[in-house]
Structure 1
Amino acid sequence: MKMTISGHHIEVTEALKSYVTAKLDKITSHFDDVVDTKVTLSVEKHKEKDGKHAECTLHIKGADLFAESSNADLYAAIDDMAAKLDRQVMRHKEKMQDHSKEAAKRAPVL
């Protein structure tokens, strides 16, 4: 899996990189067909809204998934973003499974 972590108005430290990598490794344990991951961490300093923002685009076999989250704490935003991506991956994995098995009540009687 190729992972790109970038920052916008923030320096991406090794601690942030390892934290994001640890959170996204849980997703790859659920689904092995992850091709590419792009994570952007940013800090917004506006008068209306002050906060940290984390967004991620996950390229997997059959779809592109996107999740974003904002919070006053960057680590909380990363946690929320990873949870959203995890739910999306599980939903995509469920759709990809073959559900076309014949029902038991319609199976031929031997």
Structure 2
Amino acid sequence: MKITIVGRKVNLRSNFKELVEKKLSKFDRIFDDDAEAVVTVTVERNRQTVEITIKQRGMICRAEDTAIEMNEALDHVVAALGKQIRRNKTRLEKSKKMNPGIVIADDYYDEPDEEIKITRSKSFFVKVMSPEEAVMQMNMLGHEFFMFRNDESGEINVVYRRKDGDYGLLVPESK
């Protein structure tokens, strides 16, 4: 797995980088060498946020945690990624069958599989608008996200409210 470590508003020490590589090495049994992990560390006031995103063949695992100590946040994020892997055991095994290079270790799967059940489906007309108009519409509806067709690109996009109160825009990637 290729690991990229980014520090925002902080200079990361080499011992922290080594700790990140050591902790992420336990996921080497699950992800191939072509997997990419991006570790972002942000410091604001007395809080340290660690975010880890692992991408492999269109599958994304992501976790984030904030703590007073950087190492504590790292421990929580690695534990959260382990839980995601356990929850998505079936999906990973299907991916393994399609891509024989993935090796799945049984010690990650001590929890039973959770059944994914879609209880409601809704369809609606997707309006053409700008991202700013979509945010206004989302706020008027009191929703956390809103899907729309971007007036510049013509693509389906999603705006959403982030935990910090700001807004995000999801744009499909064309590869």
TM bucket normalised to smaller: 0.7 to 0.9
TM-score, normalised with respect to structure 1? 0.75
Tell me if 1:92 matches 2:88. yes
**Richer in strand (by share):** 1
Instruction: Quote the offset at 1:88 in angstroms.
Output: 1.2
The equivalent of 1:78 in structure 2 is: 74
Q: Tell me, what secondary structure is at the counterpart of 2:31?
A: coil
Cα distance in 2 for partners of 1:96, 1:82 equals 18
Q: Distance in 1 between matches of 2:4 and 2:85?
A: 19
Task: Measure, in 1, the Cα distance between the counterparts of 2:63 and 2:56.
Answer: 14
More helix per residue: 1 or 2? 1
2 CA distance for matches of 1:59 and 1:22? 18
Superposed displacement of residue 97, structure 1: 2.5
Aligned to 2:52, the other structure's residue is in SS state strand
Aligned pairs (5 A) from 1:5-44: 5-29=5-29, 31-33=30-32, 35-44=35-44
Counterpart residue identity of residue 65, structure 2: S
**Equivalent position amino acid for 1:7 in 2:** G
**TM-score normalized by the length of structure 2:** 0.49
| Residue identity opposite 1:32 in structure 2 | F
Question: 1:9-67: CA deviations, max 9, x gaps?
Answer: 111111010011111111223x133610000011111xxxx311100110024411110
Contact kept in structure 2, 1:40 and 1:54, CA below 8 Å: yes
Aligned identity (percent) is 29
Partner of 1:54: 50
Give the aligned length: 93
Q: What SS is found at the alignment partner of 1:85?
A: helix
Deviation at 1:89, TM superposition (A): 2.1
Question: Aligned with 1:12: secondary structure?
Answer: coil
Query: Structure 2 CA distance, aligned partners of 1:68 and 1:8?
Result: 14
Structure with the larger RCO, 1 or 2 (CA within 8 Å, 6+ apart): 1
Offset of 1:96 from its aligned partner?
A: 3.1
Structure 1 gaps, min length 5: 99-110
What CA deviation, in whole Å up to 9, does each residue of 1:64-88 have, x standing for no partner?
Answer: 1110000011100000001111111
Checking the alignment, whether the CA contact within 8 Å between 1:27 and 1:89 is kept in structure 2 is no
